[in-house]
Amino acid sequence: FSEALSPTICNFFFSFLLITEFNVSCRYGGVFHVEKNGRYSLTRSEAVELCRALNSTLSTLEQLKKAHELGFETCRYGFVVGHIVIPRINPYHLCAANHTGIYKLSANTTGRYDAYCYNATETRDKACEPIERLDTSFLNNQGEIVIDNADGSRYNVDGTRHSGESSTSGADDENAGSGSTHDTTPMDTSIRRSSPSYYGSATPVSQLPDHSSGG
């Protein structure tokens, strides 16, 4: 009996492991933050392709600065053209070493981070309607893809609603001093994720090669 169930059980767990989740923030002046399967999973080339799949381009520093002026901030390092940055408005000791403005990594690193994308067709200062589809032709994914939006809605790539729980929800809850959505830093609640892991801790400053702040 157990031998007969083994292939079914194996297939179930295999398909579960192939689910890829893209967490997408609200858009500020067309700029938004995207992460893959939790934090810091994208190479620069993957970030470029992911933005293209979302009908966008990798944000430039100038585009991100305009979004920042409109109220956009995160606690996550992400790729923009030519830089790796965190946009900060409110000082917080676990986010960008308590700096505000556009905080940049000065080292030319090849590590994995998140992505900041820019949709040129979005002209509003702020938009939080869910993204319901993406173009999988730009992505090298073999399994199921789920879009996890800032409003808590979840969609399959064909525009249908996805019914499961987010597998990344709460993933960083036990990180000491996570700087998560539970922190007391005042910020616009509309850019907080439903998942506590969205504002999970940035890489500790002591572990980073070199820094310079900008903005």
Q: CATH second-level architecture of 19-214?
A: Roll (3.10)
Q: In this structure, what DSSP letter does residue 92 have?
A: B
Q: How far apart are the first and last CA of the chain?
A: 64
pLDDT (0 to 100) of residue 32: 99
pLDDT, tens digit, 9 for 90 and up, residues 116-155: 999 999 999 999 999 999 998 888 876 889 999 999 999 9
**Residue 208 pLDDT > 70, yes or no?**
no
**How far is CA 192 from each of CA 95, 114, 186, 213, rounded to the nearest angstrom?**
14, 16, 11, 23
**Residue 15 pLDDT > 90, yes or no?**
no
**Residue 207 pLDDT > 90, yes or no?**
no
pTM to 2 decimal places = 0.72
**Residue 194 pLDDT > 70, yes or no?**
no
**Residue 29 pLDDT > 70, yes or no?**
yes
Torsions phi, psi of 28, nearest 5? -115, 110
pLDDT (0 to 100) of residue 7: 53
Whole-angstrom distance, CA of residue 33 vs CA of residue 47 = 11
**Residue 182 pLDDT > 70, yes or no?**
no
